[in-house]
Structure 1
């Protein structure tokens, strides 16, 4: 057996032996056995601190502490761990007990002892020694269960205070340390179970029961109460989470149990929100707030709805409960509201209110941070009820026609934008096309044809602006616009305007409008069609258009458009109308006649404009369309060269004096390229007759085998006339000149009878009346008619108007020569109709040659396709031409409604 050992206790803060003897505690002050090492050390530290005088400064304490590191302190420490000198052999089993006895405290003794042992310091006469170190730790008597129970009691008391909405009476730091110690001792699971149970009891007993008493109130009141309890519950759980933070971070995060932040909404949702009497009223209360806001009730609290949305998000019931209910109530409201609105309001009012309602609903979603799914579903719902289900009402013809008649661009833009929300903008094509067709047809078949082209151009400009601005250049609506425009512009109606033919009147009027532009230049352009004007004569809403025009003029007041540019712009616009024409033969016939007048009478305002229009027609219709027109220009150039050669020959003659003879200018025209003109007999004055005969001899001497056919109706001349107020130079037609020459040598008061003029001029009676009317009944009257009236009668007499006066020296009176007569108009229409019949017959023969045998319906359709470029033929006209070809033995009928070609 080992001898009993003694344990040596060392004071961690050693002091000199004298002070150690003074500070040794008495028997009654012995440390209890169950005291821990930390408390022991802390007690000793307190004792040291208490032994210091009260007036001892910090420096003094530091100096005394530093004394512990002196050599004396080292000696004291060595003395404290010294052992009594006992022979190692005293222990029978050879074990050295370091706790029993004290080795020699003298260094000399230790050196002597070491020297006696030899160099190795080991007694060679003894065996191996065994060292035994006894444990200095003493068993404590700490009771962990009692400590845990005390912590739980403190936590329960603190939770009771928190649930009663108190904040004092406990230390959060102490409670946090207690929770930490409990968790470190392995009591985290039990601690969370107690906490969850107490929280659930509080929510059920203190919160839910109080809310159930208010469940009979209205929805908004119940919602307010629930929100108040939720706010209180979040504050309480924030305090609880601060105390149990160590439990939350160290245990709950890594376990399958909910964290405290998850437990907060979970308990409230399971206990309070899911209560049968509270959940529907809470959700309906939020929906009632929205309904009140839609009704613009001033007492609605906007913050309350925002808090309700946050509650639904926090409880994670937004998508499951609130969103369906919110969308359901919205659908019911929008359905009733839109049905009543479409009946009570006009179309523009409905569109405006619908757009405003959609914008308000989307703004509410943004303001209260509703989910994107809610915004998407809400927008779909609104567009479905306000747009898709009202498609028929929004695309009715009558309200849309009213907007188009008033040129309400803003309303049309809003209407299209509303429909385009559901890609229904194309649905405006049928009513828009119908309006275009009806409006254009009324222009084409109106009684007053003088401004037809101006109105068509204005309508085209309006429609293009509407399509670009209001309808956002919708492709389908654009196709409908072009198809409708093409349909009405080619409509034909047999009547007086076309002399019973199927010719289109639009082609004739376009040709005459071009003639007006090329004769008058930029001054002939109507004000409504100039480049700096945007109004339309077909738009009744002139006030709004005038504002737009003034704004455009302010923006462009420094930008002047020259005349050539103006004419080119107008020609391009006319060409837009020309492209829609099917019956281009009518335009060609009238344009050719008007061009001939302009060239022969030198009435073109600009040669560049003439050639520019010819180039446009050639590009649009091909070289074959303009072949004769180009030949007309060549004939004029060749005639000018011919006259230069003739005048040079006259000057070479002996006895020729310039100025005394008639200054003759002749245009040699090829009959194939120019229009056909009727021969009108007239008695030519002798001096003019001599000049004509002389030129004819000259021309035949150069060109043998050619015959000249003089067209005096196309001639014009300049006459010098003396009136009382002086000489004037009159530009008149050849017929007018022949009539005026009859008044040479006649006294001012001498009357010339109608019958005398008819006999002397040799003109037909119709031409005589027409000529006298232009000289005596027009705005400029070199002759005076007796008696005064607008019509010419055989009993009328005429005298020279000696009082005739005009500010200009050179005056044009031959305007009647430029005007087309009804006979000429009728002749042109009839000739075009006959040419189209010939074209139809030629097309039928070509088709039969290639097909040999063909059915009736197929032959008619193929004929229409072949002749559509020159004008659409009526089916009745095609049948009539087929009958003529059968009579001429070009084709024959066969059984089954078939036709065959006869070679």
Structure 2
């Protein structure tokens, strides 16, 4: 056909309409040829350009005086296209054997392809008339492609939306039921809803209103109903572990489905629905199974449960609370078990190893704490991926059972024994005299784990300092490097102030080496082969000078002691030295063996040393004579003398413990000592109440230190605040003490009363304190 007259609208439309039929697919699968496509484009172009050149009619100008000739030319053919699209879409019909969804997708696919080509046919009109109309504020004029979609929405979608969405949801449910479906139908139909969401005010702005209102709301509702039914039914027929596996599978399926044909907007809402119906609604069943999984050590299944509940963080808190209580219960059972074992004999009749005081063995106790911690720390790391909630639950549980248990606090009001037992545990593996077999499963790492959870760190510091002091003065530390390493770790965990006294103790030991060298140059080795004096700062070391131990030094041993006083006094004028005779030890060579045998080496206390040296003068003394030579209180002298009679080094006459302290009872040194060992330690057999005294001193020291610490905290707060209400003061003091101990409110009140008496602060009414400068 030849081109129609460029000025004739009807002729032009009659010319291009057959081409539009081919472009939109009205002729079946037969598409438009390139020649037909170009002829349609040319005819539209000729018409629009001709109108633009010759101007519009008077009638048209009167109808729209503000529009130019381009607008008037485009409006006529635009209206023709509008009417044509309505009739074309209304004329579409489905085949007898296809569903509405199949018909809709088939026609939509062809129509949108055609709309794209048709938009190019009317390109001139789009670029000039449509653009000018929209810039002038007309929002009812659109480019041809948008116009096509809007006509599809009004003529095809609006009247059939419920049917379309219902059939889409039916196919999705069939897919969930493991039926084979054509997912391309679902994907195309859903995408069409997105394309139909056109914002007529701003064509470039994405708009999901059609997708959300017609599909998303119903999809989420149906999804929730479907999985609510399925999950309830599944749990009736299967256990929780199987259900969790099913949940994982279903969630993976839905995520895959959402990636394939759902909009990004829906994905979050879909997961929210799934998490509620699959996880939150059945969380109680998981909680109930959690304890069983813990008991069976099913880390894999616990991790599966955690990963599911992690999707809804609020559901994890009950799980963490359950874990915390379970750890407390299991620790309590383990500690009850070792307490019972320490109080009774084993099934074979042999007594269980106990500590010297009759309590639970420190190694057994600490290793039990560590084993519980390690067991559930592994669970937290492996099953809960170090989630802070569960780390906190583990920490809370450990802090509880390490400080409050049947061994540490046998009664509610008793002070915690864990710091003392931990110090004894450390002493056992740090002492060089300990057997390697007894310390094989003891380590500084275990020490630091328990230390981290101690409430009363100040109590541990006191007990540890006392055991460290004994190791240092007796020279039986396994390794100075290890001692200093632990000191460094304690300092890092707490503060420099925390270890200040112990650090000074090491300084004193190094300073004593210099004193030893100076003294050695001035003494004769005829009697004393080696002399190791230690000068210890009284405020740093946990030793007290006891009047009961006022010892008389044998004349032949006096010179080294005098030299110490002389040399030290010359270097440090004005300092007072007090001998701690109850500490330290001596090694004595005793020529009491049979001829041809080497001499014995006796390890003795300072009191025992003076007793034996006295026998160099004569072989027999009465109790009164020997006591007057040696000195000390009578009960101390008797306690140190007893090991010699017990182990047959000195003969007592008359024999019997009831005669040992009589003034006229005689003691004679044997001519030949019969012992299979060449080295004999007599110190270990000394029985005094020093152990009990040391425990009392430690407790008093701890209490005194705490009172001073609380006093300093209160004065510091009052000095900065000037006036503070009672409750505010309590609330400020409590957090400041946590690094060292858990202060009791009653103790804080007592310290406040003491500070009032000392006039540091005053009470200005019943509830307020004022600082006195």
Band of TM-score, shorter chain: 0.5 to 0.7
TM-score in terms of structure 2 length? 0.60
Cα shift readout 1:39-93 (whole Å, capped 9, x = no counterpart): xxxxxxxxxxxxxxxxxxxxxxxxxxxxxxxxxxxxxxxxxxxxxxxxxxxxxxx
Query: Match for 1:329 among 197, 222, 239?
Result: 222
Answer whether contact 1:894 1:900 (CA < 8 A) is retained. Answer: yes
2:121 maps to: 249
Q: Secondary structure at the match of 2:431?
A: helix
- The residue that corresponds to 1:361 in the other structure is 254
Taking the aligned partners of 2:80 and 2:506, their CA distance within structure 1 comes to 113
Residues 503 and 583 in structure 1, CA contact (< 8 A), matched pair in contact too: no
Deviations 1:280-314 (A, max 9, x none): 5654443233323333x3xx123x23224324545
In 1, the alpha carbon distance for the partners of 2:725 and 2:147 equals: 86
CA contact (8 A) 1:227 1:307 kept: yes
Question: 3-state DSSP class of the match of 1:649?
Answer: coil
Query: TM-score, with normalisation over the residues of structure 1?
Result: 0.53
Residue among 147, 170, 183 paired with 1:305: 183
Whether 1:832 and 2:738 are equivalent positions in the alignment is no
Contact 2:722/2:770 (<8 A) preserved: yes
Residue 138 of structure 2 corresponds to: none
Equivalent of 2:581 in 711, 717, 736: 711
Unpaired runs of at least 5, structure 1: 1-37, 39-143, 212-223, 531-566, 652-657, 746-756, 777-781, 784-791
1:471-519 per-residue CA deviation (whole Å, 9 max, x = no partner) reads 5665676667666665665659998879x97543232233333333433
CA separation of 1:183/1:671 partners in 2, compared to 1, >3 Å: closer, same or farther?
closer
CA deviation profile, 1:687-716 (whole Å, cap 9, x unmatched)? x93443333344455549966545255414
Give me the whole-angstrom Cα distance separating, in 1, the residues matched to 2:637 and 2:517.
Answer: 37
1:656-711 C-alpha deviation (Å, 9 max, x unpaired): xx566665544344544432265667999xxx934433333444555499665452
Name the structure 2 match of 1:549.
Answer: none
| Contact 1:736–1:775 under 8 Å retained in 2 | no
Instruction: Report if the CA contact (8 A) 1:732-1:813 is conserved.
Output: yes
**What aligned pairs does 1:7-26 form with structure 2 within 5 A after superposition?**
none
Task: Trace 1:645-660 onto structure 2 (pairs within 5 A).
Answer: 645-651=518-524, 658=525
Q: Distance in 1 between matches of 2:43 and 2:748?
A: 110
Residue 317 (structure 2) pairs with residue 427 (structure 1): yes
- Structure 2 vs 1, CA of residues 257 and 626 (structure 1 numbering), >3 Å: closer, same or farther? closer
- Cα-to-partner distance string for 1:159-191 (whole Å, 9 max, x where unaligned): 9x998x898xx9989999999999999999999
User: Following TM superposition, by how much is the alpha carbon of 1:450 offset from its aligned partner in structure 2, in angstroms?
Assistant: 1.5
- Aligned residues of 1:729 and 1:810 also touching (Cα < 8 A): yes
Q: CA deviation digits over 1:755-798, x for unaligned, max 9?
A: xx99999876994799589979xxxxx99xxxxxxxx99899xx
Residues 1:734 and 2:635 aligned together: no
**Contact 2:640–2:686 (CA under 8 A) maintained in structure 1:** no
- Residues 403 and 455, structure 2, Cα contact 8 Å, conserved in 1: yes
Q: Note the C-alpha offset of 1:597.
A: 1.1
Cα distance in 1 for partners of 2:44, 2:717 equals 108
CA distance in 2, matches of 1:893, 1:236: 91
From 419, 425, 446, the equivalent of 1:507 is 419
> Does the 8 Å CA contact 1:730/1:813 hold for their aligned counterparts?
no
Query: What's 1:26 paired with?
Result: none
Q: Judging changes above 3 Å, is the alpha-carbon distance between structure 1 residues 337 and 227 closer, same or farther for their aligned structure 2 residues? A: closer
Q: Please report how far the alpha carbon of residue 364 of structure 1 lies from its aligned counterpart in structure 2 after TM superposition.
A: 1.7
SS in 1 for 2:554: helix
1:331 to partner: Cα distance:
1.4
| Alpha-carbon displacement from aligned partner over 1:447-484 (angstroms, at most 9, x marks no partner) | 44614444555666667766666656656766676666
| Structure 1 counterpart of 2:483 | 610
Aligned to 1:694: 559
In 2, Cα distance between the equivalents of 1:178 and 1:622? 91
Per the alignment, do residues 836 and 266 of structure 1 end up closer, same or farther by CA in structure 2, a change over 3 Å counting?
same
> CA offset at residue 603 of structure 1?
0.9
Rate the CA distance shift 1:633–1:233 in 2: closer, same or farther, 3 A: closer
Q: How many residues align?
A: 648
1:501–1:830 CA contact under 8 A, matched in 2: no
In the alignment, is residue 289 of structure 1 matched against residue 160 of structure 2?
no
State whether residues 582 and 871 of structure 1, in contact with CA within 8 Å, keep that contact through their aligned partners in structure 2. Answer: yes
Aligned match of 2:619? none
2: distance between equivalents of 1:759 and 1:822? Answer: 26
Decide which moves more: 586-595 or 817-826. Answer: 817-826
Partner of residue 263, structure 2: 371
Tell me the alpha carbon deviations over residues 385-405 of structure 1, each in whole angstroms, 9 at most, x when there is no partner: 3456667777x5x76666667
Cα 1:357–1:650, aligned 2, differ >3 Å: closer, same or farther?
Answer: same
Aligned partner of 2:275 in structure 1 is: 383
Q: Which residue of 2 aligns with 1:823?
A: 692
In structure 2, C-alpha distance between the alignment counterparts of 1:645 and 1:199, rounded to whole Å: 118
Contact 1:582 1:868 in 2 (8 A): yes
Change (3 A) 1:174 1:871: closer
Output the CA distance in 2 between the equivalents of 1:235 and 1:660.
115
Q: Within 5 A, what are the aligned runs for 1:488-887?
A: 503-520=415-432, 570=445, 574=447, 577-578=450-451, 581=454, 583-614=456-487, 626=499, 628-651=501-524, 658=525, 663-674=530-541, 675-676=543-544, 689-699=554-564, 702=567, 703=569, 708-709=578-579, 711-712=581-582, 714-717=584-587, 719=589, 732-734=603-605, 767=639, 771=643, 804=676, 823-824=692-693, 826-832=695-701, 834-835=703-704, 839=708, 871-877=741-747
Structure 1 pair 267–610 and aligned structure 2 pair: CA distance change class (3 A): closer
1:590–1:248 CA distance, 2 compared to 1 (3 A): closer
Q: Which runs of 5+ in 2 are unaligned?
A: 3-7, 48-75, 131-140, 197-209, 340-359, 617-625, 651-655, 661-669
Separation (CA, whole Å) in 2 of partners of 1:287 and 1:495: 64
Deviation at 1:361, TM superposition (A): 0.2
- Select between 713-722 and 858-867 the one with higher mean Cα deviation: 858-867
Report the alpha carbon displacement of residue 585 of structure 1 after superposing the two structures with TM.
3.6
What is the alpha-carbon root mean square deviation over aligned residues?
Answer: 6.8
Alignment check: 8 A CA contact 2:715 2:760 kept: no
For the residue of structure 2 that corresponds to 1:650, the secondary structure is coil
- Check conservation: 1:519, 1:603, Cα contact below 8 A: yes
Contact 1:182 1:188 in 2 (8 A): no
Against the structure 1 CA distance between its residues 306 and 324, is the aligned structure 2 distance closer, same or farther, given a 3 Å change threshold? farther
Q: Distance in 1 between matches of 2:219 and 2:714?
A: 75
Q: Secondary structure at the match of 2:587?
A: strand
Q: Secondary structure at the match of 2:544?
A: coil
- Contact kept in structure 2, 1:844 and 1:882, CA below 8 Å: no
Give the secondary-structure state (helix, strand or coil) at the position aligned to 2:603: strand
1:429-448 alignment to 2 at 5 Å?
Answer: 430=321, 447=339, 448=360
8 A Cα contact 2:303 2:384, kept in partner: yes
Deviation at 1:370, TM superposition (A): 2.7
Please give the secondary structure, in 2, of the residue aligned with 1:667.
coil
